[in-house]
């Protein structure tokens, strides 16, 4: 399974919520894109592991991605351990992506910062030949992505670049709303309302996309940081 881009998410829905437009645009360009969810989101107030799995399948179909796997590392108990690093390394060496997208370096949810640190370390170690890994009983070769970019999550940061997702906003919106137990819930029912389930939260998501789009001259945008930047280019015309 050779992928162009591999996206890592602490919880199912993080990729759609924070990089869904970028993912959709990459797929439209003919790039092969995959998502690795680190946990099942089993500690979420709303929904269950089973309902979240169904939502993941629907969102993946909406985005048209080529690969998705859940590592089940434990919602709320993520650790930057060698055992967890190896599970990520196995996926990186299996899919050999040129680019990886990971979560924000810090955030409101503790799992987001922990997942980012775990992925950052694992992606570096994946390039070390003396760290051995096997998947499906096959010995793997070392592989490290050329570039790693961090997507914004709940707390804002100063982005290094902004991707134009104007043509893909409606697709991103559809992918997010595939998680019907989590977002834009008008009638909470027997389960408690949460910070993200309130319809006002979804309005904020759109407002942020419009804001960052505005900064870059687009209608909608998704912001990213470059890990271990800056980005080197051979010509100014690469920007046009």
Distance CA 214, CA 46 (A): 33
- Condensed to tens digits (0 to 9), the pLDDT of residues 5-42 reads 999 999 999 999 999 999 999 999 999 999 999 999 89
Pairing relationship of beta strands 147-151 and 221-226 according to DSSP bridges: antiparallel
Does 50 score more than 90 pLDDT?
A: no
- Report d(CA 111, CA 19) in Å as an integer: 17
Domain 5-239 CATH class label: alpha beta
Helix (H, G, I), strand (E, B) or coil at 197: coil
Are 165 and 224 contacting, i.e. CB atoms less than 8 angstroms apart? Answer: no
Q: b/e string for 63-73 if b means 16 or more Cβ within 10 A?
A: bebbbbebbeb
CA distance 119 to 48: 25
Choose between 192 and 20: higher pLDDT. Answer: 20
Report whether pLDDT(73) > 90: yes
Do 102 and 224 form a contact (C-beta atoms < 8 A)? Answer: no
Report residue 222's pLDDT band, with 50, 70 and 90 as the boundaries: very high
CA 205/CA 49 separation, integer angstroms:
24
Sequence-distant (6+) residues with CB within 8 A of 64 are 24, 27
- Asked whether the beta carbons of 151 and 16 are under 8 A apart, the reply is no
The rounded mean pLDDT for the chain is 95
Query: Which tens digit of pLDDT belongs to each residue from 102-114?
Result: 999 999 999 999 9
Nearest alpha-carbon partner for 34 in 73, 2, 10: 2
pLDDT at 185 > cutoff 90: no
pLDDT tens digits, residue range 226-237?
998 888 888 988
Domain boundaries along the sequence of the chain: 5-239
Could you give the CA distance from residue 170 to residue 211 in angstroms, rounded to a whole number?
A: 16
| The pLDDT value given to residue 27 | 98
In the chain, what is the straight-line distance between the N-terminal and C-terminal CA atoms, in Å? 32
Q: Over the stretch 128-170, which tens digit does the pLDDT of each residue have?
A: 999 999 998 899 999 999 999 999 999 999 999 999 999 999 9
């Amino acid at each position: 399974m050779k992928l162009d881009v591999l996206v890592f998410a602490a919880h199912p829905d993080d990729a759609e919520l924070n990089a869904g437009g970028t993912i959709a645009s990459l797929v439209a360009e003919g790039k092969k894109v995959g998502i690795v969810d680190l946990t099942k989101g089993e500690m979420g107030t709303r929904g269950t592991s089973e309902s979240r799995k169904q939502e993941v399948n629907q969102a993946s179909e909406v985005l048209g991605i080529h690969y998705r796997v859940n590592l089940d590392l434990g919602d709320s108990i993520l650790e930057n351990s060698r055992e967890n690093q190896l599970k990520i390394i196995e996926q990186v060496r299996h899919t050999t992506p040129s680019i990886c997208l990971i979560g924000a370096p810090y955030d409101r949810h503790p799992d987001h910062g922990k997942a980012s640190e775990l992925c950052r370390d694992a992606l570096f170690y994946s390039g070390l030949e003396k760290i051995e890994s096997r998947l499906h009983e096959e010995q793997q070769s070392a592989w490290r992505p050329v570039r790693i970019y961090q997507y914004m999550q709940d707390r804002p940061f100063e982005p290094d670049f902004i991707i134009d997702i104007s043509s893909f906003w409606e697709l991103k919106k559809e992918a997010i709303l595939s998680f019907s137990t989590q977002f834009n819930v008008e009638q909470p029912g027997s389960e408690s309302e949460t910070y993200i389930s309130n319809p006002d939260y979804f309005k904020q998501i759109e407002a942020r996309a419009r804001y960052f789009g505005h900064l870059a001259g687009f209608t909608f945008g998704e912001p990213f940081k470059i890990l271990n930047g800056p980005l080197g280019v051979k010509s100014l015309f690469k920007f046009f």
